[in-house]
Chains A and B, each alone.
Chain A
Amino acid sequence: MTAAAPGPRTNMGQPVPRYDAAAKVTGRATYASDMPLDNPAYAFLVTSAIAKGRIDRFDLDDAKRVRGVIDIVTHENAPKLKESKLYSNGGYAGTTIQPLKSAEIAHDGQIIAVVVAESYEAAREAANRVKVSYSAAAPTATFDSPGTTTAAAKGQNSQFKEDPKVGDFAKAFDAAEVKLTASYETPTQHHNPLELFTTSCTWMGDNLVIYEGSQYVHGLKHGVAEQLGIDADKVRVVNPYVGGGFGSRGSMTPRTAIIAAMARRLNRPIKLVPTRDQGFTITTHRAETRHEIKLGASRDGRLVALRHEGAEVSSRPDAYCVGGTKTTTRLYACPNVDSLVSIVRADRNTPGFMRSPPEVPYLFALESALDELAVKLNMDPVELRRINDATRDPIDGKPYTSRSLMACFDEAAKAFGWSQRSPQPKSISDGDWLIGYGCAATCYPTLAGPSAARVRLQRDGRTRVEIAGHEIGTGAYTVIAQTAAERLGVPLEKVAVFMGDSDLPPAPVAGGSNSTASTCSAVMMVCDQIRQRLFKALMPSDSLADKAKETVGISPAPSTQAAKSDRSLDIEKAFDALGVGVVEEYGEWKPEGAPLDSFRAMHSGQVRLVGGHQMKDQIAYAFGAEFVEVRINRFTHEIRCPRLVGAFAGGRIMNPRTARSQLMGGLIWGMSSALLEATEIDERNARYVNDNLADYLVPVNADVPGVEVILLSEEDDRINPVGVKGLGELGNVGTNAAICNAIYHATGQRIRKLPVRLEDIEL
């Protein structure tokens, strides 16, 4: 076993290498824009240079003269598209701002024209030659800009139903022995997956095929069909690999239906490859947020009052919000809790999911505040969390299905060497560098959604699994293959998995860290259907069940236990008894507590995720603890993070290698989010300034010399059949606060606004 492939502990699968590793490192993996098209035309976008106002006029003469230009569409001649509602209101779209509909401009970088040409180069050149005259109005950029409107999220966002509250916060806070009030801020961020936001659309008669990196092929299929006004069965979305999503490809963006409609009009496939900077405005982003936390505690550290107020920026038409108070009000035992989330409207595109959408900004605030409270109490921050560890949801009183928060703190603290830390700020240094240690809790709700799957088993053990899941780099192919191999007792090499195609049985969006739980539960169920068929064919009567178990080594009862049994299925014997060469089963699985319309929704590209705090009589979260070392140069004030240590408990770990890699990526991103990542907005014109990867900084290797991931053993059979808690979004939640807490330890300076930059350090 190596660091990359940790030896499995109890309730963990094997750290097998990625199913798609060789294809990816040799460049054979085909991403959406690699798909061969027959005689494609190439599209290039023209995007708005103002954030608010009107287009007065286009001058296209110069552009049209470029050799190879086929068509230029603007709002004056664009194909008419139907509107799609926001995904959270029963639609599919990530924004209801539909470009090319009128001369109005609603945000910076809105698509205002599309050039189609015989080559990418010609399309780009012509796009550069499009001249636009605007009547610009003064836009509202963000918080504090003139012209914002602010209102409570409750009542305007259908997914934010209630501000969690319990007890009497005001009274308890008033009476608290120790009090803290602090405000925090997080910036706009962009996902910047390496794969650009391409789309390719090709029609065969009435049938449309879309090649596009998507985290939800069934959602995109139905969304585009709705916008084009055609039957969803005529649309197919294909993407065997997705070059990073991080939430940016979870909901439909306007580009796809536009390109599809243009391809239809032209009767020719069209391939669109937008630029990196266009990616900043034609998709979604993480909105900037502000927070005020009030904590009241007894002198021995028990929380008696907690209030979290958050504000988030959204677009004019859409009330998007992440509302992380649903998590921060439930993380610690506290009898008096109050919260409020507001949405601030500005002239911006609608924000959307970005890795751990609610938890990243909201836990940054809470976990920073706890560290501040620990300082006030003169108490170790780990002990403060121990004192306030909860076994029940403090709002609704429901028990956690399992909760290993403190076990994670203890393992991570040990690996990190926390006990050697002197709590005094500015007490450790090494040459030019001041050193600080910090920690924070991390958590993420355990979610799952309805999923279908088809499995086909041949007499020789070759197995084909079909499920419209998504390989966004997490290792989905690998863990699904492992599940089928284990369940059917066939060697892993014999399992082929097909995903990323909306013609396959629907799986949920690859978001909310639900994929492994949902897809593996479905695949496991369908494998069990196969086992049962083989078994039934063998057995003239139930009484022979036990005998059959001995001879073919299968059990009729699908259970997690069976998955752990190393007894292998003698498939050939079973097939001979059955008298066929192939067995194929299709099945639909839904998590307990899923709404009645779950399967109907699943087949119309809508997700019904359940879990987290929304379960009937329990609450399910994955937990972790993150420790960091920061170093701050006395002279340059540069901030570096040489060590990130995280311990995580996520129920069954399907594959310690891919799990570690997810969590490692999360820790690195968390550090990046704390120290580097911010999309700068020019407040005068509400435009993004650093919209490229040279200026929107992400870490390079030299920034992450040491990352350690510890996977804890945890068993939880109350969450889903595979016993899996999502890990994809767990890693990058606590890091933001851990870094600021460490900066405080290094310098004595509390920084409450991300990202922290060298000019923020005063020594």
Chain B
Amino acid sequence: MRPFSYQRASDPDMAVQALGVAAAANNPLTKAAAQPLAGGTTLIDLMKLDVMRPTAIVDINPLAPAWSAIAPGGDGLRLGALAKMSDVAAHAEIQRSYPVIADSLKLAASAQLRNMATLGGNVMQRTRCNYFRDVSYENCNKRNPGSGCAAMDGVNRMHAVLGTSDQCIATYPGDFAQALIALDAMVEITGKAGTRSMPFAQLHRAPGSTPDIETALQPGELISAFSISGRWPRSVYLKARDRQSYEFALSSAAIALDVQDGAIRDARVALGGVATVPWRAREAEALLKGQRFDEALAQRVADAAFADARGRRHNSFKIALGKRIVARALQQAVTMEI
């Protein structure tokens, strides 16, 4: 950890201003000199590991009164970026109308972390790639652009099989983002020019040739809220992991269905633990629309979801595992009582 200045944001303008001022150096967000602090459970960790070295911290927690909404309404849901993971997971209406959200949060991290961590910080959490988190490795394109990728031929059991590039195979580790991307959430961004909205699906950037650029956010921009239209009571989050709690997904699926008279009218399939970014399996969804569910269909959908998957030495198992998870989650969603 290195010395940094600490400021508390009195209002959004001030926060944006403070973040923007230090951002002049034209760095990608991940390298920006000023970083917002929410729950701190990712940021402080990475600072202690010397992976992130901001010189200025802007604590956005004072914005919580305005930015912590958990507001399910007639036409959809609005969630403030500073709402705590635990509060959202425990909200009765979220559990009823958006079980995929409640479960993706409930099955993440530990109770203590969920009490600290915010939704905005959660979607912005960074990869758990061991080589990224250990600065004694020079070769990490995400941390050190152009230096190579130690994970590619190293220990890569936790790494991604979808959305990878020859530059980076790091997994996006979060759970909640899969629920958001499945439900076509919009993300509200507050910046110098006020607020703008964009599809959540456009927030994260696959590594391509610039793994150090992880999101579409610019320095000086903050996520202020997420919104979702409609209700999705027929939705599930299924997560496989090495231990029963407090562990990242080896593979997960967020599924949301709209089933009328046995026919699938709308289907959403998102994958976690297997991809470099929150992952929407649109080809798989297409196979479901208008169909009646059976096991053979589930199998085809699962195959389609992983058609482009590429495994490496230790993580190839995720392809077969991911398919079984998709098939099982679909079945759970179809048969769930709502």
Contacts and interface: CB of A to CB of B under 8 A. Distances in A.
A694 B128 contact: yes
B321 A636 contact: yes
A47 B134 CA distance: 12
B243 A695 contact: no
Nearest to A640: B244
B242 A758 contact: yes
A684 interface: yes
B130 A690 contact: yes
B45 to A, nearest CB: 9
A635 B325 contact: yes
Given A125-B3, A695-B128, A759-B317, A703 B244 contact: yes
A83 interface: no
Contacts of B324: 635-637
Contact of B1 (A125, A640, A682): A125
B151 to A, nearest CB: 9
A681 B155 CA distance: 8
B242 to A, nearest CB: 6
Contact of A676 (B2, B243, B317): B243
Interface in B154-179: 154-155, 157
B205 interface: no
Interface stretch (B16-24, B25-33, B190-198, B245-253): B245-253
B155 A689 contact: yes
Nearest to B327: A635
A433 B188 CA distance: 42
A125 B154 CA distance: 28
A703 B243 contact: yes
Contacts of A689: 130-131, 154-155
A703 to B, nearest CB: 5
Interface in A226-268: none
Contact of A638 (B50, B134, B137, B240): B240
Given A124-B1, A684-B153, A637 B321 contact: yes
Contact of A695 (B1, B3, B110, B130): B130
A1 interface: no
Contacts of A694: 128
A511 B134 CA distance: 33
A690 B135 CA distance: 14
A700 B112 CA distance: 13
Contacts of A125: 1-3
B242 A680 contact: no
Interface in A734-749: none
A699 interface: yes
Interface in B263-283: none
B8 interface: no
B154 A676 contact: no
Interface in A586-606: none
Contacts of A701: 245
A10 B246 CA distance: 42
Contacts of B128: 694-695
Contacts of B153: 684
B241 interface: yes
B260 interface: no
B231 interface: no
A624 to B, nearest CB: 25
Given A636-B328, A637-B321, A758-B321, A700 B244 contact: yes
Contact of B50 (A128, A636, A690, A700): A128
B335 interface: no
In the A-B complex, the 3 residue pairs with the smallest Cβ-Cβ separation, listed nearest first, are: A759-B317, A636-B240, A49-B136
Given A637-B321, A689-B131, A701-B245, 4 more contacts: A128-B135, A637-B324, A689-B130, A758-B242
22 contacts: A49-B136, A124-B1, A128-B1, A128-B135, A635-B325, A635-B327, A636-B240, A636-B325, A636-B328, A637-B321, A637-B324, A676-B243, A680-B157, A681-B155, A682-B155, A689-B130, A690-B155, A695-B128, A697-B247, A700-B244, A702-B244, A758-B240
